[in-house]
Amino acid sequence: MLVIVCPGQGSQTPGFLAPWLELPGFRDRMLWLSTVAGIDLIKHGTESDAETIKDTAIAQPLIVGAGLISLLALFEHPADGFRLVAGGAGHSVGEITAASAAGVITAEQAMVFVRERGRLMAEAAKVTPTGMSAVLGGDPDDVAQVLAKHGLTAANNNGGGQVVAAGTLEQLAALSADPPAKTRVIPLPVAGAFHTKHMAPAVKELAAMARAISTHDSRLRLVSNRDGTVVHSGREFLDRLVTQVSNPVRWDLCMQTFRDIGVTALIEIPPAGALANLAKRGLPGVEVLALKSPDQLSEAHRMVREHAQPSQIADTPTWRLIIAPAKGIVSFTHSEPGSQVPAGSVVAAVNTLRDTFEVTAPHGGQVIEWLVEDGDPVSPGQPLLRLHPTAA
């Protein structure tokens, strides 16, 4: 079972895009995405120095654009991708790449959205000098207490003993001078305290833009970095893309979901490295590839052939399918075939070790059949219910 993961800001390095532009058609595609974004992504991905591509307004479109074009080379027959991948996820801005890859939004919508996201977050970062630092190791409770003492937010919980602290530069300096016991504190090359209250000014305008974006439901298991749940509704996932700007990233819960669905292989698309390293520590026994250059494509194609499994979601009409958001025990609310389910109503609940997740019907309709029994154990992304759409 194969998952594809998309990296976030801070993963970019000078010149990382250059080898990909040597592949037939890739320079033309990146030129098109550059035109859509209004940014010269080819120049920034090949010539610009580290300080230039650290700029949020440049880094975010560059990462998403690079991810989108590299995805085209990941499959020997790209149109088969939906049927071969068990799931996908993105870290921070990488969720935009994942949303486009899953069919929720188009590549053009992704580039406009990420351009505005980067611009608005860059403006928010200018209000107060802020940044982020990785805290490696230590006792989790002790780390949490020290961050709270310094007024910092755990903006990313990446698993494997890695937490990213975010706040003002003064707060981060205090953390470096007084770190939690048995930890290393490493400043990150980012331009602001992302996924914290400092980014709140960007959320309102992004939300207004998102209301004008049309979406489609995901064609594979799309794991949200807010809480590690599988989100099928395109509209809900787009809403999460907006709110995650000022909320923490729980990559540790994403990796837990990968374990729950039985993932056997993980490929990180360019600019790759950070998420693959987390997976090597947090997902023992899973084959991991950080796809950094086209020279590794033959290895990636081999992994796709060996680990791909047919997707239940991709081969089913998504507009009438309700899926499980997490691993747990399902209990029905609407159990009778033929009953009407209003749009937005709760049709079931999935009880997990962490929480209880309500399962809603975003489209509404008539219950045709339950695909599981009341009280069954279910996995993240497993189809639960088929609805026939009815007139509002």
Homologous superfamily (CATH) for 2-124+197-307: Malonyl-Coenzyme A Acyl Carrier Protein, domain 2 (3.40.366.10)
Instruction: Give the whole-angstrom CA distance, residue 217 versus residue 196.
Output: 28
Can you give the pLDDT at residue 313? 64
Can you give the pLDDT at residue 352? 85
Kindly report the average pLDDT of the chain as a whole number: 91
pLDDT tens across 85-97, in order? 989 999 999 999 9
Picking from 346, 280, 271, the residue whose alpha carbon sits closest to that of residue 94 is 271
Indicate the domain borders of the chain.
Answer: 2-124+197-307, 126-187, 318-388
Instruction: Give the whole-angstrom CA distance, residue 244 versus residue 95.
Output: 10
The label of the residue with tokens 């403006």 reads 123
State the CATH architecture for 126-187: 2-Layer Sandwich (3.30)
Instruction: Give the whole-angstrom CA distance, residue 9 versus residue 60.
Output: 6
Q: At CA 143, angle to CA 139 and CA 146, rounded to 5?
A: 140
The helix (run of H) or strand (run of E) holding residue 289 is strand 287-290
Q: So which residues are the catalytic ones?
A: 92, 195
| Long-range contacts (CB closer than 8 Å, 24 or more residues apart) made by 336-344 | 336/367, 337/367, 337/368, 337/369, 337/370, 338/366, 338/367, 339/366, 339/367, 340/364, 340/365, 340/366, 340/367, 340/390, 341/365, 341/366, 341/367, 341/387, 343/392
Amino acid at 174: A
Picking from 113, 359, 84, 349, the residue whose alpha carbon sits closest to that of residue 233 is 359
Pairing relationship of beta strands 345-351 and 162-168 according to DSSP bridges: unpaired
pLDDT tens across 298-351, in order? 999 999 999 988 666 655 555 578 889 999 999 998 668 888 888 888 999 999
| 247 close to 226: Cβ distance less than 8 angstroms | yes
Mean pLDDT by 10 residues, the chain (392 residues): 93 95 94 96 96 92 96 81 88 96 95 95 91 93 94 92 94 94 90 91 93 91 95 93 95 95 96 94 96 95 89 59 91 82 90 88 85 92 85 52
Side by side, which strands form the sheet with 356-361? 356-361, 345-351, 328-332, 377-378
Instruction: Give the whole-angstrom CA distance, residue 307 versus residue 312.
Output: 15
State the CATH architecture for 318-388: Beta Barrel (2.40)
Can you give the pLDDT at residue 316? 53
Q: Quickly count: other Cβ atoms within 10 Å of residue 284's Cβ.
A: 8
Burial class of 211 by CB neighbour count within 10 A (0 to 12, 13 to 18, 19+): exposed
The label of the residue with tokens 């059949």 reads 369
Structure tokens belonging to residue 136 = 């490696």
Quick check: helix, strand or coil at residue 18? Answer: helix
